[in-house]
């Protein structure tokens, strides 16, 4: 049955007329059943609750996507570096086999999840300026965070789907955005850049150990946006590589972030929102449990306190074998593990293949003689300093025609941590590919690889240690990338409910 309006509009309209239940504690003797944005956004506490709701919505990435899968898996399953040990989720298996379409649950969830964040930020940006009295610096900061989160959302959308509806105001029943049309990619990027520049000027602290958006996060995201604009599909070239390099250098020069000395700090509750973590998706077991733990465990090998072990997303052995000889990242319990404690507490049990350790919560799963809690407070990394360093190195090399000392230091700091030889004396082309290789290996399973594949139109070849063109590259387990895979399909339901969104992306 055809719905009255498409799902984007429904989401935007819903969040323009309702707020999360957590906001009700700030009300002053008002009937909750009569709430509206106009009656709610009257106190500074309402602004705080409104932006908190926007952060809450970002956790959709860790949300469920049908049986035995989460949304986080979608960008991993289409890279050729990930496989699955569960056959129950057809949508997940179709992603891995590159035969997905607009009916895919993961595709729908990414689309809807991102527009929910946009709906909430639009509400904050529209209503918070009118709250009076409210301390100016606090108001400016909250608006800066909202601009950051809206840009963050549209940056995902435009890379995943290409032309997408650009909606920057709350929607009500009379809004034309109930049936939105798609906006050209270049115009979406213009809005993203404008939002991030506004956020830059909003007085945010450079770092923020609470997990909120910081100035460092804004600048890091802007550097990533610029380097993406320099590449495909816009191909704006050297000017934007320079913008990316300059913005990344601002973050490096500030000194507020650094690489962890220990890889295990990448997935430790004690090191969240500091050091290498520029921005993370926040999880707290008592509020919203990190859902990656049982999903990423080996399929029912009984090595955890969790009763459900799924093996939903696991590394391909060919990718793990592609790391350089002596690379610390492939040593046991660094990025991967090949054995773990029986039941999470007992004798070591060999697993006979590698599994992802980068997101492993030792406290939740258990360790030798220590029972796991099966409740994970672990955040999901989103913006990493290692990514920022490699963004600078790549962008500077493209800008100046050869790597400078700072670019060498950026990549060599990462290689030194991995106990690999440092690089020197490379040509522009050789350095370019060295950075790309480092991105594939250092940033694996961080939801970054597919986006590199699309902007570069290149894919790492594990057998040759070189790079193939995107179109025609064959994964080690058989599927071949085609032109259509440069974008995900528009969700089928969206197209059915709103003809203004057509046509479907090419090839679907």
| Judgement on whether residues 177 and 41 belong to the same structural domain of the protein | yes
| Judgement on whether residues 268 and 292 belong to the same structural domain of the protein | no
Domain holding 270, by residue range, is: 205-282+381-446
Q: Is 383 helix (H, G, I), strand (E, B) or coil?
A: strand
Q: Is 248 left (phi over 0), alpha (psi -120 to 50) or beta?
A: alpha
Query: What is the arithmetic mean of pLDDT over 415-434?
Result: 98
| Judgement on whether residues 83 and 189 belong to the same structural domain of the protein | yes
pLDDT-derived band of residue 14, with 50, 70 and 90 as boundaries? very low
> What pLDDT does residue 37 have?
64
Q: Which residues contact residue 362 at a Cβ distance below 8 angstroms, ignoring those fewer than 6 apart?
A: 372
Residue 430 phi, psi (nearest 5): -65, -40
Domain stop point among 337, 363, 378? 378
> What pLDDT does residue 118 have?
98
CATH code for position 168: 1.25.40.390
Residue pLDDT, tens place only, 149-204: 999 999 999 999 999 999 999 998 788 778 899 999 999 999 999 999 999 999 99
| Judgement on whether residues 236 and 360 belong to the same structural domain of the protein | no
Query: What is the arithmetic mean of pLDDT over 476-498?
Result: 97
Q: Is 346 helix (H, G, I), strand (E, B) or coil?
A: coil
Verdict on whether the full-model pTM lies above 0.85? yes
Residue 480 within a domain = no
CA distance 113 to 362: 29
| Judgement on whether residues 32 and 137 belong to the same structural domain of the protein | yes
Average pLDDT, the chain: 93
Residue 27 has pLDDT above 60, yes or no: no
Residue 454 has pLDDT above 80, yes or no: yes
| Judgement on whether residues 211 and 108 belong to the same structural domain of the protein | no
| Judgement on whether residues 227 and 197 belong to the same structural domain of the protein | no
Please identify which residue in the block is written with the tokens 């990025």: 335
Radius of gyration for the alpha carbons in the chain, expressed in angstroms and rounded: 22
Residue 152 within a domain = yes
Residue 339 within a domain = yes
Residue pLDDT, tens place only, 205-218: 999 999 999 999 99
Residue pLDDT, tens place only, 354-393: 999 999 999 999 999 999 999 999 999 999 999 999 999 9
Residue 13 has pLDDT above 80, yes or no: no
| Judgement on whether residues 165 and 16 belong to the same structural domain of the protein | yes
* Percent of the chain with pLDDT strictly greater than 70: 93
CATH code for position 223: 1.25.40.900
| Judgement on whether residues 38 and 90 belong to the same structural domain of the protein | yes
Residue 254 within a domain = yes
CA distance 501 to 498: 6
Domain stop point among 353, 378, 403? 378
pLDDT-derived band of residue 40, with 50, 70 and 90 as boundaries? confident
Cα atoms found within 13 Å of the Cα of residue 312, Cβ hemisphere only: 28
Query: Is there a contact between 332 and 325 (Cβ–Cβ < 8 Å)?
Result: no
List the one residue out of 353, 460, 439 whose CA is nearest residue 395: 439
Q: Please state the domain count of the chain.
A: 3
Three-state SS annotation for 24-51: HHHCCCCCHHHCCHHHHCCCHHHHHHHH
Q: Provide the token pair at 140.
A: 């400016």
Query: What is the arithmetic mean of pLDDT over 23-36?
Result: 37
| Judgement on whether residues 197 and 267 belong to the same structural domain of the protein | no
Domain stop point among 336, 353, 378? 378
Residue 260 within a domain = yes
Q: How many CB atoms lie within 10 A of CB 477?
A: 11
| Judgement on whether residues 74 and 124 belong to the same structural domain of the protein | yes
| Judgement on whether residues 275 and 416 belong to the same structural domain of the protein | yes
């Amino acid at each position: 049955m055809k719905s009255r309006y498409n799902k984007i509009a429904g989401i935007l309209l819903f969040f323009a007329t309702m707020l999360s239940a957590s906001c009700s504690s700030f009300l002053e003797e008002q009937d909750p059943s009569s709430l509206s944005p106009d009656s709610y956004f009257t106190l500074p506490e309402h602004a705080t609750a409104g932006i908190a709701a926007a952060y809450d919505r970002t956790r959709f990435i860790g949300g469920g996507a049908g049986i035995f899968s989460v949304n986080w898996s979608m960008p991993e399953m289409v890279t050729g570096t990930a496989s699955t040990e569960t056959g129950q989720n057809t949508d997940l298996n179709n992603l891995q086999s590159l035969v997905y379409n607009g009916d895919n649950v993961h595709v729908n969830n990414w689309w809807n999840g991102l527009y929910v964040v946009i709906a909430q930020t639009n509400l904050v940006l529209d209503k918070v300026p009118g709250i009076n009295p409210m301390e100016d610096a606090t108001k400016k900061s909250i608006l800066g965070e909202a601009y950051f989160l809206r840009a963050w959302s549209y940056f995902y959308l435009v890379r995943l789907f290409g032309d997408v509806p650009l909606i920057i105001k709350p929607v009500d029943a009379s809004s034309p955005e109930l049936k939105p049309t798609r906006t050209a990619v270049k115009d979406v990027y213009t809005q993203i850049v404008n939002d991030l520049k506004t956020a830059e000027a909003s007085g945010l602290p450079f770092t923020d150990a609470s997990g909120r958006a910081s100035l460092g996060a804004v600048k890091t995201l802007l550097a990533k946006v610029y380097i993406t604009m320099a590449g495909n599909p816009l191909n704006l070239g050297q000017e934007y590589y320079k913008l990316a390099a300059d913005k990344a250098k601002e973050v490096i020069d500030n000194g507020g972030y650094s690489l962890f000395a220990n890889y295990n700090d990448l997935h430790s509750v004690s090191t969240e929102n500091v050091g290498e973590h520029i921005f993370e998706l926040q999880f707290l077991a008592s509020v919203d449990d990190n859902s990656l733990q049982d999903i990423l465990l080996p399929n029912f090998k009984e090595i955890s306190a969790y009763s459900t072990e799924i093996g939903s997303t696991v590394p391909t052995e060919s990718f793990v074998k592609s790391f350089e000889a002596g690379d610390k990242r492939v040593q046991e319990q660094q990025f991967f593990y090949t054995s773990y404690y029986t039941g999470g507490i007992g004798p070591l049990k060999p697993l006979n293949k590698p599994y992802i350790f980068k997101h492993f919560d030792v406290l939740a799963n258990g360790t030798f003689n220590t029972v796991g809690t099966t409740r994970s407070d672990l955040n999901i990394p989103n913006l990493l300093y290692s990514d920022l360093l490699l963004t600078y190195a790549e962008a500077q090399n493209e800008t100046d025609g050869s790597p400078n000392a700072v670019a060498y230091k950026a990549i060599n700091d990462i290689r030194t941590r991995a106990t690999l030889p440092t690089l020197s004396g490379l040509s522009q082309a050789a350095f370019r590919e060295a950075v790309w290789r480092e991105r594939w290996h250092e940033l694996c399973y961080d939801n970054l690889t597919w986006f590199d594949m699309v902007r570069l139109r290149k894919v790492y070849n594990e057998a040759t240690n070189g790079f193939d063109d995107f179109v025609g590259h064959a994964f080690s387990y058989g599927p071949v990338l085609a032109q259509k895979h440069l974008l995900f399909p528009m969700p089928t339901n969206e197209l059915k409910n709103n003809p203004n969104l057509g046509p479907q992306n090419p090839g679907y």
